[in-house]
Structure 1
Amino acid sequence: MENLVFTQLSIPEVRQLFRQELEQFFKALPCAPPKSAINAENLSTRQKTAKKLNISLPTLDDYTRRGIIRGYRVGRRVLYRPEDVEAALTEINTVKYQRA
């Protein structure tokens, strides 16, 4: 635990100390890439994504609203990343012809 020392400081000195602490705090934070760093060249349109999954556009809209497939809005368009489409696909284990 740090020792506390009470002294009289002027307002400019308090501001300077506060500014230094904030600068140190923000320098220590990891830099995250901006959200706009998504490569727009790899994104697929709704039509291409629905055709790839062999589903209709209303079904794709429903999946997007329910959070099954993540979509990205660019203006009025909704685009999909291939990684998100692949992540939405899950394997189903069938038990057809299983004997007891």
Structure 2
Amino acid sequence: MDKLILSTYTSEELSEIIHKAIKEVVKDMEPQISKQLNETLLTRREMADKLKISLVTLNDWTKRGIIQSYLIGGRVLYKEREIEASLYKTQTVKY
């Protein structure tokens, strides 16, 4: 392991080094953060309408773990991207 002697840096230089390192990490994480911030959250009613199911069915699917929900401020919300990802294509067999 390389040894780093910090006593050769002034407090301003050390602060600048730390600032640059943090800036690089934040810059690398920026696409992930912006993607999460732009994510659409839907209410129970909006989700039921989108899936064309009743609220009872939506509640059942949520309890069984078919659909992931989030509780924010006492409200149940769904991430639109996760719901679209949970849908899958089935192949119809003709007889």
TM-score (norm 1): 0.54
Q: Which residue of 1 aligns with 2:44?
A: 46
Cα 1:88–1:41 change in 2 (3 A) is: closer
Q: Name segments (4+ residues, structure 1) moved above 4 Å.
A: none
Give the letter aligned to residue 49 of structure 2.
Answer: K
TM-score (norm 2): 0.57
- The runs of 5 or more residues in structure 1 that have no matched partner are 1-32
Structure with more of its chain in helix, by fraction:
2
Q: Does residue 89 in structure 1 map to residue 79 in structure 2?
A: no
Q: CA RMSD in A?
A: 2.5
Deviation, structure 1 residue 90: 1.4
Q: 2: CA distance between counterparts of 1:42 and 1:83?
A: 7
Identity %: 48
**Match 2:55 to one of 57, 64, 75:** 57
The number of residue pairs the alignment matches comes to 64
Of structures 1 and 2, the one with the larger relative CO (CA 8 A, separation 6+) is 2
- The runs of 5 or more residues in structure 2 that have no matched partner are 1-28
